[in-house]
Amino acid sequence: MSHTAIQRHQWSREEYDRMIAAGVFHPEARLELIDGEIINMTPQGSLHVTTTRLAEDRLRLAFPEGHDIRTQMPLALDSSSEPEPDIAVVTGTLMDYRDAHPDTAALIIEVADSALNFDRQQKKRLYARTGIQDYWIINLIDQQLEVYRDPQGDDYTQTQTLKSGESITPLASPQSSIAIADLLP
């Protein structure tokens, strides 16, 4: 009896986008392409949605004109990844991305409960590798903000954990201070 190794197909972003355009996936499917793998996104509970909206509202106040706050929209980070972070702050306006998704972000935020380990591992590696300077995880399990900065290779050299009562200044908006309590429901 011969044993055949299991082989996985690594999808490119171009193939993934063609499948979306061709209607291969159900229109309401929540998917992302991460390092060539098509991932089913975890369904969002009301706490996740509330937290995402709180953060989105606070970021709209913190970032000046010339930034677009994108909620659960694709980023074309590299040839094998098209994540849909909970929030991405990108430079420019909505119309700047009419014909193509942004390929970087000034800040990415993931709201994490059941997918916390995925956000701390796979997504963190992806964001570091593609040069995202400011990556935050709103950790709903421990009610804290995890901040990752200064990407080097597949990881970040600066890590900080903040709790309610503390504040954070986004790298791309140094004039703004955001209370951690404003990000947590």
Kindly report, residue by residue over 102-151, the tens digit of the pLDDT: 999 999 999 999 899 999 999 999 999 999 999 999 999 999 999 999 99
pLDDT of residue 120: 97
Which of 40-49, 57-66, 148-157 is least confident? 40-49
DSSP label at 54? Answer: H
pLDDT at 30 over 90: no
Length of the chain: 185
Contacting residues for 17 by C-beta, under 8 A, at least 6 apart? 82
pLDDT of residue 2: 59
Quick check: 92 and 101 in contact, CB under 8 A? no
Using DSSP, state whether 134 is helix, strand or coil: strand
Q: Which residue shows structure tokens 């159900």?
A: 26
Bridge partners (DSSP) listed for residue 90:
68
Rounded to the nearest integer, the mean pLDDT of the chain is 93
Quick check: 139 and 116 in contact, CB under 8 A? yes
Structural domains in the chain?
44-182 (3.90.1570.10)
How many CB atoms within 10 Å of residue 76? 18
DSSP label at 127? Answer: H
What angle (nearest 5°) sits at the alpha carbon of residue 78, between those of residues 123 and 39?
45
Mean of pLDDT values over 159-183: 97
DSSP E strand boundaries for the chain: 31-34, 37-40, 67-71, 87-91, 107-112, 134-139, 144-152, 155-163, 167-168, 178-179
Q: Which two tokens stand for residue 118?
A: 């995925």
